[in-house]
């Protein structure tokens, strides 16, 4: 897949994820609006029911007080009335009260004007009620608290609330949270002006209903305030929101990981293509040389000269060995990937090994008017390891230092003791490595772009092999490099290695 196709998929997937996220936000917001609307309807309905209950109980109370004034003692279980305000108990009780009143004061009940003035005992009634605030007298705070609590429980409204009763005649809060907010016996001196209650959240609450409404108006309002209203509305939406965020994050993670895998596979595909091209080139040259040498041997002018036949036979053998070495490298990496190799640990003198490897490259380096310098400072260069693989490690690093250096390569090999082993540094004055190259240098098939160096050959397996062998020896490999300033590869061998 080319880059345009990959970025097209990324844009389409990103659009889908972002669109899905905003659709979820829309439905969550819609759910919150529904919860808020349902909450408001429940509250206003609850307040209307409470107001109706308070008014009915006030009617029962006034009727029983009239009976008490006539000498008929009546006791009412207000708790039972508050718990079951919609039962037929209060209505049947009111009928019985009216029947008793008719028997006691039939003249007043039959005379409308006299009844409106309080009946035959109007003077007694006026004396009992004189000087009391009417609204505060008509509502019992304890009963109001109980009725409101029952109504909230019936509607499953568990939010914390505060409530109060506002007198519209006196512009004062008369009942607040189950207690009188004014002194009923001295009401005028205890009234709290509404201007002084601007900080009280009850005053600005949207949840209120009128109390004791008559043609002349309403005496007061029942107000309720919910300090935790937002949290209660969000209570059911939290699960949806949290779930949406979790699943959106999961989708984003999978999306990001998919993009990472796509680019990684694309890079691996490019490296494998480079590997195939390099391998084809590496095999093409010796095959062509072998073919040419074979044709030369078959030539009558050559076949009659044994020395030339031996020369061309030697070329064929040399090129055949070259191809064999390349195949061995590929097969060796396959074995390393499958961990189907075994180490043969012996005592290895690293200084002796370094000197041996340098001899193979000294001629090539000197041919390019370069130099190989050594600074072997390790006092104890003996380590335990596989001799063949350690030699291959050093040959790979020296080969890279030679191949990626300019016309006059300067290669330095240094050793020093560490706390538990020996450190080897192989430095060059080559093209260096970028930050990206340093991250990927040990990946299989990865090759550094060589710029103007067009004769650098290889499969991109050398440093992968070095990394795998250092790991197998329980050692470490690191690289220090800057672009255009050469590279230094650092090998750290443990002194006492034990193969698994």
Q: How do residues 232-263 score in pLDDT, each as one tens digit?
A: 777 767 777 788 888 888 888 888 888 888 88
Binning the chain into helix, strand and coil, the percentages to the nearest 5 are: 60, 15, 25
Give the pLDDT score at 353: 92
H/E stretch holding 189 reads helix 187-190
Per-residue pLDDT averaged across 374-397, rounded?
Answer: 90
Give the pLDDT score at 130: 44
Q: What are phi and psi of 378, to 5 degrees?
A: -70, 125
Instruction: Enter the pTM of the model.
Output: 0.47
**pLDDT tens by residue, 116-156:** 444 444 444 444 444 444 677 788 888 888 888 888 888 88
The residues, any chain, with a CB within 8 Å of residue 432's CB and separated by 6 or more, are 481, 482, 483, 484, 485, 486, 487
Q: How many CA atoms lie within 13 A of 26 on its CB side?
A: 6
Triad 244, 249, 253: Cα angle to 5°: 150
Q: Is the pLDDT of residue 90 over 80?
A: no
Residue 42, classed as helix, strand or coil, is helix
How far apart are the C-alpha atoms of 394 and 491, rounded to whole Å? 9
The string over 137-150, giving b where at least 16 C-beta atoms fall within 10 Å of a residue's C-beta and e elsewhere, is ebbbbebbbbbbeb
Same fold, 232-337 and 346-494: no
Given pLDDT bands bounded at 50, 70 and 90, which one contains residue 304?
Answer: confident
The residues, any chain, with a CB within 8 Å of residue 200's CB and separated by 6 or more, are 173
Give the pLDDT score at 199: 58
Give the pLDDT score at 333: 67
- Closest by Cα among 121, 122, 119 to 107: 119
How far apart are the C-alpha atoms of 360 and 432, rounded to whole Å? 23
- Closest by Cα among 350, 343, 349, 365 to 499: 343
444 DSSP 8-state letter: T
Residue 410, classed as helix, strand or coil, is strand
Give the pLDDT score at 155: 85
Q: For residue 73, give both structure tokens.
A: 């003692």
For 346-494, the fitting CATH number among 3.10.310.10, 3.40.50.2300, 3.40.47.10, 3.30.565.10 is 3.30.565.10
Give the pLDDT score at 121: 42
Architecture of the 232-337 domain: Orthogonal Bundle (1.10)
CB atoms within 10 A of CB 219: 22
pLDDT top residue among 51 and 324: 51
Give the start-to-end residue ranges of the domains of the chain. 3-227, 232-337, 346-494
């Amino acid at each position: 897949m080319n880059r345009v196709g990959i970025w097209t998929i990324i844009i389409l997937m990103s659009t889908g994820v972002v669109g899905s996220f905003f659709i979820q936000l829309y439905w969550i917001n819609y759910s919150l609006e529904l919860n808020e609307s349902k909450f408001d309807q429940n509250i206003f309905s609850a307040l209307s029911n409470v107001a109706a209950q308070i008014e009915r109980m006030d009617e029962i109370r006034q009727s029983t007080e009239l009976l008490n004034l006539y000498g008929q003692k009546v006791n009412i279980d207000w708790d039972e009335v508050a718990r079951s305000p919609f039962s037929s108990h209060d209505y049947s009780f009111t009928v019985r009260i009216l029947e008793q009143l008719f028997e006691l004061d039939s003249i007043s009940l039959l005379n409308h004007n006299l009844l409106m003035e309080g009946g035959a005992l109007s003077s007694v009634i006026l004396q009992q009620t004189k000087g009391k605030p009417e609204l505060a007298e008509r509502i019992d705070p304890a009963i109001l608290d109980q009725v409101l609590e029952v109504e909230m429980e019936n509607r499953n409204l568990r939010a914390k609330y505060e409530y109060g009763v506002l007198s519209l005649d006196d512009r004062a809060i008369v009942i607040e949270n189950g207690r009188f907010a004014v002194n009923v016996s001295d009401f005028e001196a205890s009234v709290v002006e509404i201007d002084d209650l601007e900080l009280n959240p009850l005053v600005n609450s949207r949840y209120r209903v009128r109390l004791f409404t008559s043609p002349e108006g309403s005496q007061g309002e029942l107000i309720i305030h919910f300090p935790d209203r937002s949290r209660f509305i969000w209570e059911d939406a939290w699960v949806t929101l949290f779930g949406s965020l979790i699943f959106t994050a999961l989708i984003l993670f999978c999306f990001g990981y998919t993009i990472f895998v796509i680019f990684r596979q694309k890079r691996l595909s490019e490296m494998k293509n480079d590997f195939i091209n390099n391998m084809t080139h590496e095999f093409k040259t010796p095959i062509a040389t072998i073919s040419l040498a074979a044709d030369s041997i078959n030539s009558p002018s050559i076949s009659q000269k044994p020395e030339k036949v031996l020369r061309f036979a030697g070329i064929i053998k040399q090129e055949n060995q070259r191809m064999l070495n390349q195949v061995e490298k590929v097969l060796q990496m396959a074995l390393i990937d499958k961990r189907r190799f075994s180490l043969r640990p012996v005592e290895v003198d690293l200084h002796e090994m370094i000197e041996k490897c340098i001899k193979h490259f000294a001629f090539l380096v000197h041919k390019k008017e370069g130099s190989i310098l050594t600074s072997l400072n390790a006092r104890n260069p003996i380590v335990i390891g596989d001799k063949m693989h350690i030699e291959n490690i050093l040959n790979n690093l020296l080969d890279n230092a030679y191949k990626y250096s300019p016309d006059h390569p300067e290669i330095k090999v240094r050793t020093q003791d560490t706390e538990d082993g020996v450190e080897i540094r192989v430095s060059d004055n080559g093209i260096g490595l970028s930050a990206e190259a340093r991250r990927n240098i040990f990946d299989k098939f990865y090759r550094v772009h060589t710029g103007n160096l067009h004769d650098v050959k290889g499969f991109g397996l050398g440093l992968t092999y070095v990394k795998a062998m250092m790991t197998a020896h329980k050692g470490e490999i690191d690289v220090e490099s800057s672009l255009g300033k050469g590279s230094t590869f650092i090998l750290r061998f443990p002194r006492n290695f034990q193969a698994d």
